[in-house]
Amino acid sequence: MVKNGCPFCNPLTRIIKENDTAQVILSDPRKVPGHFLVVPKRHIEKPWQLKEKEINDIFQLIFFIEKKIIGKLGEGCDIRQNYRPFINQDALKIDHIHFHLIPRSYKDYLYQKAEHYETDLFAELDDLEREEVIKLLD
Ligand SMILES: [Zn+2]
């Protein structure tokens, strides 16, 4: 199921590392130096469409890259997968599923530019909300 115009279905010149079903590229554009993407070779848009082999291959590459990042490009690493079907594909939003690895350090550039107030977003979890959300799993 290859979609026309998908930049991740043919990133051949950008592949840094790969295994059977997944590959690593540098994000371009990127948020910070060392912003990697781990991408399944198969065009998949919904995370739950990944097969077990793809999940294993993806996380093998994620943890390989994470270990390389830590201590060299950052003190830590964020791993993120965004599923946002409500946003149309463009240069900053690609439908082909991918996992971001972003080097992080204490009060780094991303913290200063975008996450400085993030702790204000947290609210106490009450019993009603807890029950309602848990019901979704039935
Ligand atoms: Zn694709």
Token digits for 50? 């990944």
Question: In angstroms, what is the span from residue 38 Cα to ligand 1's centroid?
Answer: 13
pLDDT at 2: 46
In a domain, 1, yes or no: no
In a domain, 74, yes or no: yes
Can you give the residue range of the structural domain that contains 87?
Answer: 12-135
In a domain, 2, yes or no: no
Q: Into how many domains does the chain fold?
A: 1
Q: What is the CATH number of the domain that holds 122?
A: 3.30.428.10
pLDDT at 33: 95
Q: List, for residues 80-137, the tens digit of each pLDDT value.
A: 999 999 998 887 889 999 999 999 999 999 999 888 888 888 999 999 999 999 999 9
> In Å, what is the CA distance from 56 to each residue of 29, 53, 115?
27, 5, 30
Please state, for a pLDDT cut of 90, what percent of the chain lies above it: 76
Give the mean pLDDT of the chain.
92
Question: In angstroms, what is the span from residue 8 Cα to ligand 1's centroid?
Answer: 5
In a domain, 87, yes or no: yes
* Residues 28, 100 contacting (CB under 8 angstroms): no
In a domain, 31, yes or no: yes
In a domain, 4, yes or no: no
Q: Which residue has the tokens 């990127």?
A: 30
Question: In angstroms, what is the span from residue 56 Cα to ligand 1's centroid?
Answer: 19
Token digits for 45? 């848009």
- pLDDT beyond 70 at 11: no
Question: In angstroms, what is the span from residue 44 Cα to ligand 1's centroid?
Answer: 7
In a domain, 102, yes or no: yes
In a domain, 3, yes or no: no
